[in-house]
């Protein structure tokens, strides 16, 4: 069983999760969606890649790596500010 690291009420736990994860997910999505927009409009304008093609998923993997890099500074700040717990 997982032990909670904080003794928070459900409402305070929800607020803490929103504070820590909303911004982190948003910055990740900015990197991912920016890359996928470039893939769609610039790299493969016609014909577009579709989700049934391996190239689409390869570009998605690149986008996920870029999303990691765009979210890393904010996650670092959230941990330093105490809004998010570090791993380990």
Give me the pLDDT at residue 88, please: 67
Distance between CA atoms of residues 26 and 60, nearest Å = 17
- Is it the case that residue 4 has pLDDT exceeding 80? no
pTM for the model: 0.80
Query: For helices 54-81 and 10-38, what crossing angle results, to 10°?
Result: 140
pLDDT in tens, 48-83: 999 999 999 999 999 999 999 999 999 999 999 988
pLDDT in tens, 23-43: 999 999 999 999 999 999 999
* Domain edges within the chain: 19-81
Give me the pLDDT at residue 48, please: 95
Give me the pLDDT at residue 63, please: 98
Q: What is the secondary structure of the chain as a DSSP string?
A: -PPPSS---HHHHHHHHHHHHHHHHHHHHHHHHHHHHHIIIIIS-SSPP-TTSHHHHHHHHHHHHHHHHHHHHHHHHHHHHTSSPPP-
């Amino acid at each position: 069983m997982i032990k909670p690291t904080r003794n928070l009420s459900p409402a305070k736990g929800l607020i803490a999760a929103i504070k820590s994860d909303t911004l982190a997910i948003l910055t990740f999505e900015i990197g991912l969606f920016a890359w996928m927009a470039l893939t769609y409009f610039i790299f493969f304008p016609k014909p577009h890649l579709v989700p049934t093609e391996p190239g689409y998923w390869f570009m998605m993997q690149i986008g996920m790596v870029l999303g990691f890099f765009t979210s890393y500074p904010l996650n670092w700040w959230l941990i330093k500010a105490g809004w998010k717990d570090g791993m380990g």
